[in-house]
Structure 1
Amino acid sequence: MFIGRHAYVLLVPESGDTEAEGELDRTIGLAGAVTIGTGTMIGAGIFVFPGLAAGRAGPAAAVSFAIGAVIALLVALPTSELATAMPESGGGYYFISRGLGTLPGAIVGIGLTLGLMFASAFYLVGLGEYAAAILVEADVFSTTNVSLGPFDVVLVFGMLVGVLLTVLSIFGTENTESLQNAVVGFLLAILVVFLSISGLDVLGVRGSSRIPAEFAPAGFGPILTTAALVFTSYLGFAQIATIAEDITEPDRNLPLSMVGSVLLVGVLYIVTLLIAGSTFEPSVIGPMGETAIVEIARTYLGFGGVVVILIGGLLATVSSANASILSASRALYGLSSDGLVPNAAARINREYGTPHFALSFVGGVTVVLVATGRTEVLAEVASFLHLIMYGLICVALVAIRRRDPAWYDPAFMCPGYPVVPIVGGIASFALILFMQPLSRILGLVISLGAVAWYLFYASDVQLKNQV
């Protein structure tokens, strides 16, 4: 069948078969793509990171998010061009393997899959924090540090929801899109009201001004280290490219959704962090952790605001985890389709049109990662692996443009070429230098593990449409 400017073949299994290798069903439209990108980013950037970020840098954490937005946009533009030329599952893995070779592609593909699972676990731990906070507000517990026998309530909630989201995705991608559309629409309505009221308070329109005397109380050094930490907040646009094979009209919808989602959430992040850093001192907001935005809502909107933000935080972290699990499975599906991992991950369930094995594997590993509870480390390792991919995506665009293969025919051209991809690549690699040593070590270990896997399992793989 023909969709946009590209032809696809659906391989239908023989009667009685429940699965087969073939193309994924294209069921996600522009709204669904935007909400998958936006929903992922809102969950981390607004409902999980404000306490962690403002605790490090104060109001200047808004600059950290602005830096992240600029880097994300510099990468989103080259990614949009590559995605319209190659609208396939795997996103960055697919582009890099075709532009730079099988080994770089394998490193990125395996790193992308694991990075998305780390991000999913990070979001699910944040979800557990919100669930525990709701129980505290309902006087079920007196503190969020609660347990049910030997089990931590935060981690139990996160693990259970991880299983449920995996099952939901297995039963059809349209379930994921419907969930994202409903959740993100509700979240945006909540945020517009919340940020408007609290912003007026900070400026002194509704009372005494809360504008702090010092914009960067800890100096400007923490701004870049905080930018490295919170860059996980901008992984959503790349997740859109990862599920490109599920998106209708990819020539139009891929660039619009990727660039649009970065711009939208970037503005929301900056406003949120200015308000957070102006409401509490870093020494106060830092210990509040993943649910600091709840205390900000309490300050400006009272108990009613707390209830709404708690519900919003719960839905936002569900949305982020939902999109990340879906994207990780598609990255694994892309690797399997090329023969870089066992072909079971590329098998499609005939009834639901989803890669059920890939989804089950991703969901299972994510649930195990949730049990660690190491949120900041999970977030930074995910950022490390994505920044490697982003830098190489920019390099891949330059390499493919220089070689100009006959099959390369993008519907969207990156503006400002070659400056945009060159600056985007340099910025992506440079941000890694500001991460904590443990995150860099773990990211390097994963990358070396990917090299070892390639040499052991897939060194003789030949890819189609390789430059």
Structure 2
Amino acid sequence: MSNEPSGSNIEGDRPVAESVVETAEATITDDAELERTLGLTGGLAIGIGTMIGAGIFVFPGLAGARVGTAATASFAVGGVIALLVALPTSELATAMPKSGGGYYFISRGLGTLAGTIVGLSLWLGLVFATAFYLVGLGLYALDALAEIGIAIGASPGLLVSVLAVLFGIGFTVLNVTGTKNAAKLQNGIVALLLSMLVAFLAFGMLEALGFIDADTPPGEAANVWEVVPIMSVAALVFTSYLGFAQVATVAGEMKNPGRNLPLTMIGSVLIVTAMYVLTIFVATSVFTQDALAAAGETAMVEVGRQLLGPAGALVIIVGGLLATMSSANASILSTSRAIYGVSKDALLPRRASRINLRYGTPHVALGMAGGPVIVLAATRQVQLLAEVASFLHLIMYGLICVALIAIRRDQPEWYDPDFRVPGGPVIPVIGALASFGLIAFMNPVSIGVGVAVIVLTAGWYFYYARNVKLKGAL
């Protein structure tokens, strides 16, 4: 695709590809032709690697405590919405194989105001998501200390905050010193994590189906098969699916993108959704609602203990540590690239896109990513952080679908995608309605914080970016 719109390309390292494959650290310009070396298998590895993370270890206890086994439906709803957005994103990505993904598509399809809101909201949405991952990491680190017999003391909550902040600082420094360093850590984490999860789920399904007796503890709470509670839990756990659209950022490096990109995005969502649904099914088969509520964010540790004794608990603790580390590390990287991208488009001061001459990384953007992440992580507000992150991403996903409709309507000369969503406007319309509609089931406080972020980003547009003209925008 050589005639896509020219514009302020979001330069730098690919924000997601580093999580599973090594990439060059050279800055990529608009005129550079990306080498298409990424096949279907590599694309699936990126998609799965960006989504399998903290959510699968933190949410089963929270979701199962609310609705029991019905939480499987909540995760399935999240997967369906992700699929509805994956198809429009695939079409846009094959027409505009640019780094920046959703921000680039929306800014070019809906203009500078929408681009500013989405670009800055993506930054802040990733900040909330990263803080959520770091709190989960702190909770699992606390369990790890307890498991090996180290006394926690009288203030476990304070220790979680301290651990979350320290890990946040560590990952920020790691990313400043070079993307390859972060990528090597990420590759090993994802490979080990996936193998552990497959083995655990295989054993858990044998117990859930009655082939193994794990002596499930009794409980009095019943499952809640009602629409509103299920959808409310879906809104909470949607944070688990935030990585799927990031596959679009490597569209320019994918072989046969018209075929492989949609297969990669759809396949990634289907595989990860299946793993999430199986995980929550195992958790709610071993423990009932009241037991999951008592165990909280680290309920999966107790599920592992129930299935395999102390060895099972240790496997889940290690898996939880790996997952939350993977999510936090990749998310800090992506957050900095979101800031870098909007700065290159002059929607933020240009100095935010400065590159460290020694390490070749956007150190200012990384500082703008890590600073607020560390502050939010110290709050330990797991559910609020997760829902605000979901809110801001759902806004972006809905607008991606709207951008596709707008671009198809205007039919600019440069728009020639290798893949087109079938069914005309039906799928993007449903995708937009589903994305925006899920927000209605969130906690009012989370909605209020999300709306405040949107208002602030719109205010920034009128204060700073209203006169910015984006090349290639409709």
| Aligned-partner Cα distance in 2 for 1:29–1:143 | 49
How big is each residue's C-alpha offset from its partner over 1:157-190, in whole Å with a ceiling of 9 and x where there is no partner? Answer: 2222222222222233333333222211111111
Question: Aligned partners of 1:106, 1:133: CA distance in 2, in Å?
Answer: 41
Structure 1 residues 23-102: aligned runs within 5 Å:
23=29, 29=38, 34-102=44-112
- Aligned partners of 1:77 and 1:415 also within 8 Å: no
Q: Kindly indicate whether residue 328 of structure 2 is the aligned counterpart of residue 321 of structure 1.
A: yes
Q: Quick one: which of 131, 149, 159 aligns to 2:165?
A: 159
1:119 aligns with 2:123: no
Deviation (angstroms), 1:244: 4.0
Partner SS for 1:411 = coil
Distance 1:162 1:185, change over 3 A: same
- Determine which of 182, 188, 202 is the counterpart of 2:188: 182
Q: After TM superposition, give the deviation of residue 202 of structure 1 in Å.
A: 1.4
Alignment match, 1:15: none
* CA distance, structure 1, for counterparts of residue 176 and residue 253 of structure 2: 17
Matched residues in 2 for 1:286 and 1:320: separation?
24
2:289 to 278, 282, 288: 282
- Alpha carbons of structure 1 residues 208 and 119: separation in structure 2 relative to 1, 3 Å: closer
Provide the TM-score with structure 1 as the length reference: 0.89
Matched to 2:404, the amino acid is: L
Question: How far has the Cα of 1:250 moved from its partner?
Answer: 9.0
Change (3 A) 1:11 1:78: closer
Once the two structures are TM-superposed, the CA of residue 391 in structure 1 deviates from its matched residue by 0.6
AA aligned to 2:201 is: L
State whether structure 2 residue 412 is matched by structure 1 residue 405: yes
CA distance in 2, matches of 1:225, 1:359: 33
Residue identity matched to 2:339: L
1:110-136 residue CA offsets vs partner (Å, 9 max, x unmatched): 111100010000001000001000000
Shift of residue 156, structure 1, vs aligned partner: 1.7
The secondary structure found in structure 2 opposite 1:464 is: coil
Name the amino acid aligned to 1:261: S
Select between 25-34 and 413-422 the one with higher mean Cα deviation: 25-34
Residue 143 (structure 1) shift: 7.2
1:215 and 1:421 map into 2 onto residues whose CA distance is 39
Contact 1:395 1:422 in 2 (8 A): yes
Letter in 1 for 2:189: V
Partner of 1:303: 310
Task: Pick which of 255-264 and 134-143 moved more.
Answer: 255-264
More off after superposition, 172-181 vs 227-236? 172-181
Compared with structure 1, are the counterparts of its residues 196 and 251 closer, same or farther at alpha carbon in structure 2 (3 Å cutoff)? same
* CA 1:346–1:263: 2 relative to 1, 3 Å: same
1:258-311 per-residue CA deviation (whole Å, 9 max, x = no partner) reads 333211110000001111112212122023122111100000011111111111
In the other structure, the counterpart of 2:18 is none
Moved more, 29-38 or 296-305: 29-38
SS in 2 for 1:113: helix
Q: 1:272 to 1:21 in 2, by over 3 A?
A: closer
Moved more, 340-349 or 129-138: 340-349
**Which residue of 1 is the match for residue 386 of structure 2?**
379
Alignment match, 1:438: 445
SS where residue 408 of structure 1 aligns? coil
SS at match of 1:43: coil
1:350 is displaced (CA, Å) by: 4.7
Q: What secondary structure is seen at the aligned counterpart in 1 of 2:53?
A: helix
What CA deviation, in whole Å up to 9, does each residue of 1:381-413 have, x standing for no partner? 000001111111001011111211112222232
Q: Secondary structure at the match of 2:355?
A: strand
Show the 5 A alignment for 1:65-464. 65-141=75-151, 146=156, 152-207=158-213, 217-220=223-226, 221-241=228-248, 243-244=249-250, 251=257, 254-464=261-471
**Alpha-carbon distance, 1:333 to partner:** 1.4
Deviations 1:212-239 (A, max 9, x none): 9999623413101000100001001123
By how many angstroms is 1:249 displaced? 5.3
Q: Distance in 2 between matches of 1:403 and 1:369?
A: 41
Q: When the two structures are superposed, what TM-score results if normalisation uses the length of structure 2? A: 0.88
Given the superposition, is the C-alpha separation of residues 236 and 327 from structure 1 closer, same or farther in structure 2, using an over 3 Å criterion?
same
Q: Specify whether residues 352 and 404 from structure 1 end up closer, same or farther in structure 2 by C-alpha distance, changes over 3 A only.
A: farther
Q: 1:38 to 1:346 in 2, by over 3 A?
A: same
Distance 2:372 2:402 in 1: 31
Distance (Å, rounded) in 2 between the aligned partners of 1:204 and 1:4: 58
* Identity between Structure 1 and Structure 2 (%): 54
Q: 1:138: Cα distance to partner?
A: 0.9
Q: Which residue of 1 aligns with 2:15?
A: none
Is the CA contact 2:54–2:320 (under 8 Å) kept in the aligned structure 1? no
Aligned partners of 2:425, 2:370: CA distance in 1, in Å? 39
Q: Residue 473 of structure 2 aligns to a residue in which SS?
A: coil
- State the one-letter code of the partner of 2:140: Y
Give the distance between the partners of 2:217 and 2:208, measured in 1 at CA. Answer: 6
Q: Distance in 1 between matches of 2:49 and 2:223?
A: 31
RMSD: 3.2
Q: 1:10, CA displacement in angstroms?
A: 12
Residue 206 of structure 1 aligns with an amino acid whose one-letter code is: I
Distance 1:104 1:11, change over 3 A: closer
d(CA) in 1 for partners of 2:310 and 2:439?
40
